[in-house]
Amino acid sequence: MSIHQHVDELDGLPVFEFPPATAGTALPEPGAVAWRLSVDPYDDSDEETFAERWQRFTETVELSGVRALVLGQWGEVYEESASTVVEAVIAAKDRLTSLRAVFLGDLTMEESEISWIQQSDVTPLLTAFPGLRSLSVRGSDGLAFPPVRHEALRALRFESGGLPAAVVRGICESDLPALESLTLWLGVPDYGGDYEVSDLAAVLAGGRFPALRHLGLQNSAIQDEIATAVAAAPVVAGLETLDLSMGTLTDSGAEALLGGQPLTHLRRLDLDHHYLTGAMVQRIRQALEPSGVEVVADEQGDEDVDGDDGTVWRYAAVTE
């Protein structure tokens, strides 16, 4: 299942698609929008390669005013890595002096399954742009993220059907003193998600990201184990919002949350796409909502039951 769609805003700016050369579209001011660049290699009417479109963008738009970039399809699925896009953006770093936000891999499910997106090491973007405040990445095939230090990054987001353990550890062991929001779609083993709860240890221990106020550990096939670890994790005390949605959370994981440290300081707890009983959802609401916590638990996942042996199959929201 895939639910990824185009982003419509980034860093508070509306997304504007940089048009083909033949479009004759009037362009907005450089800093008024998040500029989206994408090509369709399967559309004969789109005659530019991504490199050509990027080159025309750099010659047409005053790069010093550009605040946000949304990078969509850059080539044929399965074949072309994001590394060429990363390199192109970095090559323009001396002109992109106002760049604050990047979304790499803005492809919809119609363009590519999330597991097909060919990623790369994305940490060079952080090294090249010390003023970057937001980095979002979709797709994990070929993704690398060795531990990195960055003074300004406030939001880090990874959307995937399966994050490799090395990537999870690299993210959690990075030194990001300004980070306020961390979102990880962890995914499932069939699509590269070979992580274990222990790979999250550095972030769960607290202190690694002292400014962290939002933590999303989502879309996991081991959501109960994650919930159990979160229930005792020091990082939770400093959070305002906690997102454990999109995974296979059952009453077992929810029981651990209710029996763990207090969650009444949170503004929001998101458990959507869960496998909780109605009685458990009610218990969570009764425990937290009187303290002002917004509990999101409306969407329930669909179970499959094996007719032969009664095995129950539960699925994360985004896999392939």
Rounded CA gap, 186 and 196, in Å? Answer: 10
Residue 110 has a pLDDT of 86
Residue 305 has a pLDDT of 83
Mean pLDDT of 152-159: 98
Q: How many residues does the chain have?
A: 320
Mean pLDDT of the chain: 95
Strands 294-296 and 268-270, sheet pairing: parallel
pLDDT band at residue 18 using 50, 70 and 90 as cut-offs: very high
Give the CA angle between residues 72, 76, 81 to the nearest 5°. 70
Residue 3 has a pLDDT of 59
Mean pLDDT of 268-280: 97
Residue 2 has a pLDDT of 43
Q: What is the pLDDT of residues 51-92, one digit of tens each?
A: 999 999 999 999 999 999 999 999 887 778 999 999 999 999
Q: Residue 171: which residues within 8 A CB-CB, separation 6 or more?
A: 145, 156, 158, 182, 184, 203
Residue 1 has a pLDDT of 37
Q: What is the DSSP string of 101-142?
A: EEEE----TTT--GGG-B--B-HHHHHH-TT--EEEEE--BT
Q: Residue 74: which residues within 8 A CB-CB, separation 6 or more?
A: 38, 39, 50, 80, 82, 84, 85
Residue 9 has a pLDDT of 96
Residue 210 has a pLDDT of 97
Q: Read off the tokens for 240.
A: 């305002």
For 220, the enclosing helix (H) or strand (E) is: strand 214-220
Q: Read off the tokens for 269.
A: 């707890």
For 278, the enclosing helix (H) or strand (E) is: helix 278-288
Are 258 and 284 in contact by the 8 Å Cβ rule? The answer is: yes
298: pLDDT strictly greater than 60:
yes
Residue 307 has a pLDDT of 67
**For helices 251-259 and 278-288, what crossing angle results, to 10°?**
20
Residue that wins the pLDDT comparison between 217 and 43? 217
Q: How far, in Å, are 10, 13, 25, 112 from residue 32 at the CA level?
A: 11, 7, 16, 29
Helices (H), 135-176: 165-172
CA proximity to 104, closest of 80, 120, 127:
120
Return phi, psi of residue 126, to 5°: -70, -40
User: For residue 169, what are the β-bridge partners?
Assistant: none
- Residue whose token pair is 């097909």: 116
Rounded CA gap, 226 and 170, in Å? Answer: 18
Rounded CA gap, 151 and 211, in Å? Answer: 12
**Residues of the chain above pLDDT 90, percent:** 86
Are 38 and 58 in contact by the 8 Å Cβ rule? The answer is: no
Q: Read off the tokens for 98.
A: 């106002």
Residue that wins the pLDDT comparison between 147 and 112? 147
